[in-house]
Amino acid sequence: MKKILCMIFATVFLLLVSGCVISTNESESVVLPPCRIGTSGIQATFGDKYTFESALAEADVVARIEVGNWIAEDTNLYKTYYEARVLQCFKGEIPENFTLLQEGCSVGTMKNYPLFISGNELLVFLNEATEIEYESPYWIIGSFTTLLDVSYDESGARYYVDRYGILGESINIPSNYVHEENVSSEVLSVVVASDPIVSEMQYSYPYIFSEADIVTLLENK
């Protein structure tokens, strides 16, 4: 009996240990940037402000993506590099897995534009970068001005959320779900839950669009 009990305890112990190792390995597989907000601020220098129409016309690629692991940063050029994956491509051609460039790094970031982390889901307007050593590099043409966060309500319906109110003001969609409290509260709570730094930024989120409306607009261009 003692031998049987010892075998049972040993088996349980091994299962618990293996479970901890898997959990630890999964945790270690996520590589985060050194910080989310740089030690100093940097100024954005843009030409004409992008509208939804002009961003769509200029971008090589428009896609819904998921940000992956942090790769590296260039503190001289104030750039950060990430693994990224295309979830849905609306314009152009791009490898499913590519390198995403973001303006900003641990030395300096733009105001209210923290560095991405693995798991961020975004709608972005991209152009291919040149003279970059990383595989399939793409940069966001308008930086934070052509960026929409992707979120969900409790039923799983997808929404596109403008944290700044810059791109959204030029999107010709009559239904703005920020005015529907039951929808907006669910969608914004998912945004905060998926990336805790959002609550620190105090974004206004003046525009929330349904997936159906955004996709229809993109497909009709």
Whole-number pLDDT of residue 28: 63
Whole-number pLDDT of residue 220: 86
**Intervals of the chain under pLDDT 70:** 1-28, 46-47
Run of H or E residues at 53: helix 52-58
For the whole model, what pTM was predicted? 0.86
40-219: which CATH architecture?
Beta Barrel (2.40)
Checking 42-47 for CB contacts under 8 A at 24+ apart, the result is 42/78, 42/103, 42/104, 42/108, 42/109, 42/110, 43/110, 44/103, 44/110, 44/143, 44/144, 46/142, 46/143, 46/145
Sign of CA dihedral 130, 41, 146, 200: positive
